[in-house]
Amino acid sequence: MDYLRDLNPQQKQAVLELHPRQAQPQNILILTFAKKAIKEIKKRIFDQVASVAKKDLHIYNFHSFCFHVLSQHSYLLGFPASKFPVYARHEQEEVVRKIVRQINYNHEQKEINTIISCIEYQEYLQANKALDFNDLLIYTIRLFRQHPSVREEYQRQFTHILLDEFQDINAT
């Protein structure tokens, strides 16, 4: 197992845990935080394991995994079956500024970050059948809780889940 040489202790432990179980690549979900890490992980896998097909790899950051799940099942939560918009930070701020103007709120009094969590913002997203990056996580959790069959579908597919940078995850 020459490929273990470049791994840190936690990574070695994960690989050694999967090896005797003969986990199939299509049954492994790898989650990380950054898009850059996805590329690095894929490169490592392809450099070490030539027999893995790209279609069998399921490597996502948390938001892209949630987008993947929701894009297949969004209709269950009342979103259009087609793709729904996901608002990036600058779009969030634009929406908040629009709402602030509409309600004549003096946004100089508070930070935009505080305003983003206001009820009007969430109502705006709902009315426009849109989500932001935080909503991707929240709605995926809601989907799994409200529709156990969807959760079970992913549990059957992904018998092993590897979390890169586990110490950085939050309660969501």
CATH of the domain at 161: 3.40.50.300
Give me the number of domains the chain comprises.
2
Report how far residue 166's alpha carbon sits from residue 139's, in angstroms, rounded to the nearest whole number: 21
71 and 153: one domain? Answer: yes
The verdict on 37 and 72 lying in the same domain is yes
What's the pLDDT score for residue 108?
A: 61
The predicted pLDDT at position 150 comes to 97
- The answer to whether position 33 is within a domain reads yes
For position 116, what pLDDT does the model report? 61
Structure tokens at 91: 């779009």
Do 91 and 73 share a structural domain?
A: no
Q: Judge whether 130 and 84 are in contact, CB under 8 Å.
A: yes
Residue 26 falls inside a structural domain: yes
Do 97 and 74 share a structural domain? no
33 and 92 in a common domain: no
Tell me the residue range of the domain where 53 lies: 9-78+147-168
pLDDT of residue 56: 82
Is residue 142 in some structural domain?
A: no
Residue 49 belongs to some domain of the structure: yes
pLDDT in tens, 63-108: 999 999 999 999 999 888 767 888 888 998 888 888 777 777 665 6
Q: Which residues contact 125 (CB under 8 A, 6 or more apart)?
A: 87, 95, 131, 132, 135
pLDDT digits (tens, 9 = 90+) for 111-155: 665 666 577 788 888 888 889 988 999 999 999 999 999 999 999
